[in-house]
């Protein structure tokens, strides 16, 4: 969310995974292009507010975790959604297959 607030598609897509692997190659490029389009179409103030996002907890089970909407604060309405995470090589990624 902070990367989106900074309008940084490289950083935002860099923390996304699919199929147990971080995005790379064509999938990473597709994520960046898609996010750039979204960033261009949505009001800057709305994304800027994401810089203040805070996550106050998660349910962790091994290399998987879930952040519930009530654990995400200081975001515009509609941005506090369930987020599935997966740990790959010691680093947490948003699981786009979750």
The per-residue pLDDT for 78 is 87
Q: Are 61 and 54 in contact (CB under 8 A)?
A: no
State pLDDT tens for residues 47-78: 888 999 999 999 999 999 999 999 999 998 88
- pLDDT at position 32 is 96
Q: Which residue has the higher pLDDT, 44 or 1?
A: 1
**Averaged over 34-50, what is the pLDDT?**
86
Total tally of structural domains belonging to the chain: 1
DSSP secondary structure, 16-78, as one string: EEETTEE--HHHHHHHHHHHHHHHHHS-HHHHHGGGG-EE---EEETTEEEE-GGGEES--TT
The DSSP code for 2 is: H
Give the residue numbers spanning the domain of 91: 2-95
**Of 68, 75, 24, 67, which is closest to residue 45 (Cα–Cα)?**
75
Which pLDDT belongs to residue 25?
96
């Amino acid at each position: 969310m902070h990367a989106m607030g900074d309008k940084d598609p490289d950083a935002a897509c860099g923390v996304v995974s699919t199929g147990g692997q971080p995005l790379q190659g064509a999938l990473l490029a597709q994520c960046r292009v898609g996010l750039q389009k979204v960033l261009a179409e949505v009001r800057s103030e709305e994304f800027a507010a994401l810089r203040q996002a805070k996550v106050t907890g998660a349910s962790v089970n091994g290399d998987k975790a879930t952040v519930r909407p009530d654990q995400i604060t200081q975001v515009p309405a509609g941005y506090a959604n369930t987020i599935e995470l997966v740990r790959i090589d010691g680093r947490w990624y948003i699981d786009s297959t979750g």
